[in-house]
A and B are shown apart, each in its own frame.
Chain A
Amino acid sequence: MTAASPPEVLRAPLIVEFPFTRSLGPVQSAFLTGLREGVVLGVKTSGGKVVVPPVEYDPVTAEEVRELVEVAATGTVTTWAWNGRPRPHQPLDTPFAWVLVKFDGADTALLHALDVPGPEAVRTGMRVRVRWAADRTGAITDIACFEPYEGPAGAEAVPHDGVFADAVTGIVAEARLDYVYSPGRAQTAYINALSERRTVGERCPSCHKVYVPPRGACPTCGVATTDQVEVGPAGTVTTYCIVNIKARNLDIEVPYVYAHIALDGAGLALHGRIGGIPYDQVRMGLRVEPVWTEGGRHPDHYRPTGEPDADYDAYKELI
């Protein structure tokens, strides 16, 4: 048992990407299809207010709103903010103004980007018009941005049936977020030990259970586990299952056995694949040891040690 040494912080890039596929309601579908066709639609509430971008339920009364109207592709800036350093994915990659724009004929404002050379070229109340994207798909980004426009306000909203050929019924909301992941003190020690082909757990100072892999805390006692304990290398299969479905990007032949393995000295089982024995001969109590591959950062699998099976009483608490 040794006290934990100061951690060498491990880091690795972690990328989270998700293409959320979302369906559209009747109003959003008409609005986004309209953008594709170069038409700006809103809805009229029972109070007579024209809402652009449109909502499907009145924010005040929660009534369903379905009366579509067309507004002009020109409008007035209601407030703005100068974005001197655009961030990834934003509408323009040159400095621009974020603006809320009230379209002519609308009573509410839409958020987007305004393409002007500098902050001195923006003011609340300035007139703007839509600059349409070259390739339009039925998304808010069909508005590439706004640009200055010298023209009078005053256009009225006019009724629109919202009917277009080949209506857009869904969007794919692509997102990517980049992180740098650090696993923390306990897991850093575990991962570093694995690179020396050792398995290191941590003992709870209160109940003395040894956790492997360690997470830094004992969930029973709610205290930090700080004493490192080397466990294994051999262990006992406490339970297992037979995998019959081949996973994508995994070149392990099926069927194979995935097992819970209580390494000698550990207070709970970790999981790993069992090899070196036909799948239908794996059993509870089987004694196994890790098999490391060249350059591997963790055991590739566990194989039988050839010892007699462990007695059920020896591992029943760890199942």
Chain B
Amino acid sequence: MARYAREVAVVAFAQSDHLRRTDELSEVEMVMPVLHQVLAATGLKAGEIGFTCSGSSDYLAGRAFSFTMTLDGVGAWPPISESHVEMDGAWALYEAWVKIQTGEADTALVYAYGKSSPGSVRDVLTRQLDPYYLAPLWPDSVALAALQAQALIDAGETDERALAAIGARSRAAAEANPHAQLRGAVPQGDYQVRPLRTWDCPPIGDGVAAVILAAGDLARQLCERPAWITGIDHRIEAHGLGLRDLTDSPSTRIAAEHAGVFEAPVDTAELHAPFSSQEVVLRKALGLGDGDGVAVNPSGGALAANPVMAAGLIRIGEAAARIHRGESDRAVAHATSGPCLQQNLVAVLEGDRA
């Protein structure tokens, strides 16, 4: 049964309210309250954490090594065991999980933040593209998602009405999420890049998320119902968009197989689909179908709040929080990074049965 050397669980999750702008806050000022909240949930002090790992991107802030400033908020003196990924915080969580698996730590604090408001995130994200064939053309993130959406429509896998329903369902679900940026009846809006309209696209905003991981009995002491990570894996596809079948996500499917998603039914799926069309691709890759009792993005998902670099970690946190609250027994959480679902991380979270 044991897939891994150690049992590791998400024992706490916290996030900020996600807002269009946070000009009055520096990054550490934005991050710190969330760190305090997640630590308070476990009773741990910053100095008691075995390993700290964060995810963010300098390109959002336009400043080199911007993440180092936020370390003031975790109590980085005297020196701590710490690392950073220039990726969504879900990958920071993966690194922390590996650190615990190796026995080098028993607890980890994982946090991620994105402050997109200083720049134009659509243009900023073009800088992550292949520098020879793509970046000189400045195709923005909405344009690339729109190409994928049209490919899905051409393949008969969705249509504009079905995409609109995904946006509406997500924002309706977000009514119950006090942290979400967009809630309720959001106007469908004009085409941003056809076939994607405003509500097929995520809001642009600033936000923070943090989770605490713990191993074995320590997890049971820190949390009444730990969300055990019973499987986790991540995969990447070829970066050439024209080399890929944009209507499918084989990397998600392989990661899900390795994480054990298909070994038993899930009751919750938190999918990192910043664009409505990407949910169609992910449902297919994860075998979720259209409505067979699985709660898909009950938090509202990335269509309700998409702080870049934190939105994937939030999916893991939201799935774990449902297990903590007893609303889920077996959940799948997914995070993505890069254009058109280029990189995908899949985790299975399970609660102890009563």
Contact = CB atoms under 8 A, between A and B. Distances in A.
Interface of A: 7, 9, 11, 14, 16, 20, 22, 24, 28, 32, 51-53, 55, 59, 78-84, 87-91, 98, 100, 102, 108-113, 119, 124, 139-141, 171, 173, 175, 177-188, 215-224
A11 B136 contact: no
A158 B152 CA distance: 32
B1 interface: no
A51 B133 CA distance: 13
Given A98-B143, A178-B120, A224 B29 contact: yes
Given A84-B194, A87-B140, A140-B133, A178 B29 contact: no
B187 to A, nearest CB: 17
A184 B27 CA distance: 8
Given A82-B191, A84-B193, A219-B71, 16 more contacts: A11-B23, A20-B131, A53-B132, A81-B194, A87-B122, A98-B144, A109-B241, A111-B137, A173-B136, A177-B59, A178-B119, A178-B120, A182-B24, A184-B27, A215-B69, A216-B26
B163 to A, nearest CB: 13
Contact of A140 (B69, B124, B132, B243): B132
B62 A111 contact: no
12 contacts: A7-B24, A80-B150, A81-B195, A83-B193, A91-B137, A111-B133, A111-B147, A171-B132, A173-B136, A177-B124, A188-B24, A222-B73
Count class of interface residues, chain B: 35 or more
B197 to A, nearest CB: 11
A128 to B, nearest CB: 14
B270 to A, nearest CB: 27
Contact of A79 (B28, B75, B122, B150): B150
A215 B242 contact: no
Given A82-B193, A219-B75, A177 B123 contact: yes
A217 B72 contact: yes
Given A82-B191, A98-B143, A185-B25, A179 B118 contact: yes
Looking at chain B's contact residues, is the secondary structure mostly helix, strand, loop, or mixed? helix
A271 B314 CA distance: 40
Contacts of B136: 139-141, 171, 173
B127 interface: yes
B139 interface: yes
B149 A81 contact: yes
Given A175-B135, A182-B24, A119 B194 contact: yes
A24 B132 contact: yes
Contact of A22 (B35, B123, B131): B131
B167 to A, nearest CB: 17
Contacts of B85: none
A222 B195 contact: no
Interface string B122-160: 111001000111111111100110111111001000000
Interface string B216-241: 00000000000000000000001011
Contact of B242 (A100, A124, A139, A217): A100
B140 A222 contact: no
B280 to A, nearest CB: 14
Interface in B107-122: 118-120, 122
A216 B31 CA distance: 11
A81 B72 contact: no
Contacts of B132: 22, 24, 28, 32, 53, 140, 171
Interface in B59-80: 59, 61-63, 69, 71-78
A218 to B, nearest CB: 7
Contacts of A98: 139, 143-144, 146-147, 193
Contacts of B75: 218-222
